[in-house]
């Protein structure tokens, strides 16, 4: 999903140094090759945000206000597995008749498969996948629709090759280090279960700690976030809810449909030592409402933005980027508040005690 329309899924990367509009020249030098050059090996590179064949990487086309908008293209030829198996079977039947045999050795079947693959691959149409990206020059951030580890591993080194800096994925751990100089490894694992038989996890999972705390913050304090500038915003969580805990029994539990936040099953999950791994975070500021599914690794999925007012494409894009910034900045304000509590031993001990009582009430214990 691109950043200029519809809902948006993205992760944030910190940039070690500031970039400016001139970086578009580096993107142009690392543009994806023409699709006509695609052979058996995949090709990749940058394209414009308008479509996946847009190789017009210029400042006029890609830079809008304080942002660069582009996409990372990967193009390859793929053979549908069912088609490959059918052609292999045809070739195997021919080979069986020629040998007067009923079975073929495994090595022969492997050779037939490779031969068929090499013959079919050039005839397959290109398969194109695009990963929208935005460089936020003002905040020194890269926003990218890299929602899986594999996509992050593909994007990050190519971005470094393009502009000379390695983007740092903002997870709970890296964000804590960047924003508050907090090393998650220095924190003792938190245990929110009121059951004394439940032992804390072996390692600190700061993202799940935060999401679970955020649920408690919303329910116990009314979900009102007073902002530094004097304004305020409302926050709330919605299902589906994903809980996780390493150890014996079911590691992951998903509650969906109905009212999972109010269910006894949610309280039971907390009492068993599970923590919130994924939920839908709704933010309201005045009459504007944002909502997205947020992961413990700080991925934002399906972010729905308030309705905008701008009609022209450039104005609409800039307006949407400001709305996206409002959401992630509110999210990190909440995270900062969590870190402030997490790093003060006495305050955190009180918070954990309150959360255990909260979990007990939710489970009906």
The domain segmentation of the chain, as residue ranges, is: 8-73+127-169, 81-122, 176-362
Strands 232-244 and 252-255, sheet pairing: antiparallel
How confident is the model over 154-197, as pLDDT tens digits? 999 999 999 999 999 999 999 999 999 999 999 999 999 888 88
C-alpha 187/C-alpha 109 separation (Å) is 55
Task: Tell me what pLDDT residue 354 has.
Answer: 94
Mean pLDDT to the nearest integer, 104-108: 93
Q: Residue 51 CA to chain centroid, in angstroms?
A: 22
Give the 3-state secondary structure of residue 289: strand
How confident is the model over 139-156, as pLDDT tens digits? 999 999 999 999 999 999
Q: Residue 223 CA to chain centroid, in angstroms?
A: 24
Report the chain's mean pLDDT, rounded to a whole number. Answer: 91
For residue 258, name the pLDDT band (cuts at 50, 70, 90): low
Give φ, ψ of 294 to 5 degrees. Answer: -115, 130
C-alpha 180/C-alpha 112 separation (Å) is 59
Strands 168-169 and 224-226, sheet pairing: unpaired
The token duo for 211 is: 């999401």
C-alpha 283/C-alpha 237 separation (Å) is 9
Task: Tell me what pLDDT residue 203 has.
Answer: 83
Is pLDDT above 70 for 342? yes
More confident residue, 136 or 219: 136
Task: Tell me what pLDDT residue 22 has.
Answer: 94
Is pLDDT above 80 for 237? yes
Closest to 360 in 3D by CA, of 206, 132, 193:
193
Is the Cβ–Cβ distance between 112 and 91 less than 8 Å?
yes
């Amino acid at each position: 999903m691109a950043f200029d329309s519809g809902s948006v899924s993205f992760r944030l990367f910190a940039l070690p140094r500031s970039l400016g509009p001139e970086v578009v020249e580096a993107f142009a030098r690392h543009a994806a090759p023409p699709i006509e050059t695609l052979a058996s090996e995949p090709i990749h590179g940058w394209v414009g945000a308008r479509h996946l064949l847009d190789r017009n990487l210029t400042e006029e086309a890609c830079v809008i206000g304080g942002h660069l908008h582009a996409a990372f293209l990967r193009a390859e030829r793929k053979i549908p597995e069912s088609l490959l198996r059918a052609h292999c079977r045809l070739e195997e039947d021919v080979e069986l008749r020629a040998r007067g045999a009923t079975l073929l050795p495994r090595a022969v079947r492997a050779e037939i498969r490779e031969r068929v693959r090499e013959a079919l691959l050039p005839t397959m149409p290109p398969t194109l996948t695009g990963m929208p990206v935005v460089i936020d020059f003002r905040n020194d951030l890269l926003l990218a629709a890299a929602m899986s580890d594999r996509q992050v591993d593909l994007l990050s080194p190519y971005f470094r090759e393009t502009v000379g800096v390695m983007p740092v994925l903002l997870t709970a751990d890296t964000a804590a280090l960047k924003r508050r100089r907090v090393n998650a490894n220095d924190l003792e694992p938190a245990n929110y279960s009121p059951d004394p038989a439940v032992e804390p996890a072996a390692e600190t999972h700061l993202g799940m700690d935060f999401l679970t705390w955020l649920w408690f913050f919303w329910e116990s304090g009314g979900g009102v976030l007073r902002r530094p500038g004097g304004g305020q915003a409302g926050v709330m969580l919605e299902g589906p809810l994903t809980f996780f805990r390493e150890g014996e029994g079911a590691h992951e539990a998903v509650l969906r449909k109905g009212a999972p936040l109010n269910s006894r099953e949610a309280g039971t999950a907390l009492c068993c030592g599970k923590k919130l791994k994924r939920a839908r975070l709704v933010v309201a500021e005045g009459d504007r409402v944002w909502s997205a599914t947020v992961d413990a690794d700080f991925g934002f999925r399906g972010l729905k933005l308030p309705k905008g007012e701008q009609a022209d494409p450039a104005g609409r894009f800039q307006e949407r980027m400001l709305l996206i910034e409002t959401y992630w900045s509110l999210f990190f304000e909440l995270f900062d508040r969590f870190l402030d509590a997490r790093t003060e031993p006495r305050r955190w001990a009180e918070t954990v005690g309150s959360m255990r009582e909260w979990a007990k009430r939710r489970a009906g214990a």
